[in-house]
A and B are shown apart, each in its own frame.
Chain A
């Protein structure tokens, strides 16, 4: 899996690169419009992380170029602006997702994962861990190939865990990524705990081999 990071902030680009490389992605980067365009024309990527504000141009223009070249690369816009207009414009231009700075790395992974999956018809269709299988396309979850019933939020939560099993997910990240800003920090621990408890109960009932392990004071990981 090849990913291109178009980002002019070297520090941010470095940390994103490190984190993605840990997930076995092949990462390349460009820190201005010209070199980004060079790379986009010259190579194919599975996913492009595109910053809107570049020193010598706009990410929106790059997006237009990508679409003009009929490239199949999945594009996630990363912007410090967090404005509705940008979001709408970007998605209309054919971006796959929009992520506002600052973001959680866990959320970035989830977005990249689903963007690549949606985009890649020939790739792996399912996310599988132990005897649990997720089909992100129609949001179905199977345990031992038996469909189980999860509500929207429960599915989202499981998806976050499934794409990176064994990695600790912080409860604040979970709360923010799935429930938005509605939950205050003070509430998130108990709230996530009760949500995890429900999900765990459903998984147990269908004899799933996966379980959530609490990491004291931080969050949970899927084992």
Chain B
């Protein structure tokens, strides 16, 4: 799982904040509670002074032996039990109001009355509200936590969005970038140093790669070019030798064999040259091409060989298929597909062509073995050791398709038919 940078930082912030706030609220809660208890105790001590003072004035106070209205009781004790020091404790008392035991804070102390008798004084006060206070405090802290997280989330998002916007911009341009088209990477005016360096590095990389690729492409084109002349010389010389009537048949046949090897080289060379020309965008003039018409023209060239090989071609024109394309390239594409179909025709000897509104499909009967669609378009890929194949026909088809962004080529194998389909996404 990949997460966005924004959420990546947020993940750690949430965990860290949870810890910090938990520790802080624990300490805060303890302090506050201590302060509250201190307040209660002070209140109880003050009450003690008032009760004792009252007891000296009004003796009837001494008769309060049960907690009632006054929340205190006074009991007579002997000198041994007499305990004049203040002692605080928490105790549970039954409360009639809700029929349960509730927490109370109790101050136990002692005093000597006017007559010199030892008295034990117990004062209590309910701490129910203080408990509620703790819960409220916890809720408040939680709300605070949520607010902080939400706040940080939005601040984080806004700040990161702003700070990283050049980065996403670079990403977008890289996405749109096509090999051989440097226009998408415009001049570098990044204000943040890191992004400036990033774009700089990317541009250098792209330029270096393009340069390497270009040199390589030119090399193929030049090499193919340079090979034409020696090939022409060799072929012509053999032709010339073969016109010599004195040669015996055996020698002639050997020359024919040399010639056929040279011819293979010639067609390889021609295909390579074609490929590099296509890849170098040398056929960029586009017109509205009607595939139905082009196909029929191409088919005428193949008529003799088709009838000689006894191949049945059925053409189903469901509609006129028209795209914006280079006419010459489409001719080559169709003729390569047709040649491919003829070459790998199975025993059934059937070619089916279906032209619809947005697709041109050519299928040929095969030998019950599907081709691997991952390799068939690769250069020099051959199914089996085929002597006559250059292994470039289908790569030329693919290069042509790549020259037309609205076209796509698909391969399927079904019911013993190899199916090549050129689909247009524009109609």
Contacts and interface: CB of A to CB of B under 8 A. Distances in A.
A170 interface: yes
Interface stretch (B32-40, B70-78, B94-102, B297-305): B297-305
Contacts of A19: 236, 239-240, 243
A7 to B, nearest CB: 10
Interface in B222-281: 225, 228-229, 231-237, 239-240, 242-243, 249, 252-253, 256, 259-260, 263-264, 266-267, 270, 273, 277
B308 A84 contact: no
A82 B305 CA distance: 25
A194 B308 contact: yes
A101 B266 CA distance: 9
Given A80-B228, A84-B328, A170 B259 contact: yes
A187 B389 CA distance: 13
Interface in A84-110: 84, 101-106
Contacts of B343: 184
A106 B236 CA distance: 9
B91 interface: no
B301 A180 contact: yes
A183 B283 CA distance: 26
Nearest to A166: B245
Contacts of B253: 217-218
Nearest to A173: B239
Interface string A1-35: 00000000101100110110010000000000000
A153 B304 contact: yes
Contacts of B260: 172, 185
A168 B242 contact: yes
B114 interface: no
B286 interface: no
Interface residues of A, number: 43
Interface residues of B, number: 42
A126 interface: no
B277 A182 contact: no
Given A84-B328, A102-B266, A194-B308, A18 B240 contact: yes
Contacts of B296: none
B239 A105 contact: yes
B412 interface: no
Nearest to B277: A83
Contacts of A183: 305
Contacts of A216: 249
Contacts of B233: 9, 11-12, 15, 102
A83 B329 CA distance: 12
Which one of A16, A19, A81, A218 has the highest number of Cβ atoms from chain B below 10 Å of its Cβ?
A: A218
A102 B249 contact: no
Which one of B233, B283, B339, B387 has the highest number of Cβ atoms from chain A below 10 Å of its Cβ?
A: B233
Contacts of B270: 82
A213 interface: no
Contacts of A182: 301-302, 305, 335, 339, 342
Interface in A186-210: 186-187, 190-191, 194-195
Interface SS of A by simple majority: helix
Given A185-B263, A218-B242, A179 B304 contact: yes
Contacts of B282: 83
B347 interface: no
Contacts of A195: 304, 308
B388 interface: yes
Given A9-B229, A80-B229, A217-B253, A187 B237 contact: no
A176 B387 CA distance: 18
Contacts of A41: none
Contacts of A168: 242-243
Contacts of A12: 229, 232-233, 236
A165 to B, nearest CB: 13
Contacts of B302: 182
A39 B218 CA distance: 35
Contact of A191 (B263, B273, B305): B305
B243 A167 contact: yes
Given A84-B328, A104-B235, A168-B242, A187 B305 contact: yes
Contact of B256 (A81, A83, A217): A217
Nearest to A51: B229
Nearest to A176: B263
21 contacts: A9-B229, A15-B233, A19-B243, A82-B228, A83-B277, A103-B236, A104-B235, A172-B259, A172-B263, A179-B304, A182-B305, A184-B343, A185-B263, A186-B388, A187-B305, A191-B305, A194-B308, A195-B304, A195-B308, A217-B252, A218-B256
Interface of A: 9, 11-12, 15-16, 18-19, 22, 80-84, 101-106, 153, 167-168, 170, 172-173, 176, 179-187, 190-191, 194-195, 215-218
* 5 nearest A-B residue pairs (beta carbon): A102-B232, A105-B239, A80-B228, A101-B232, A184-B388
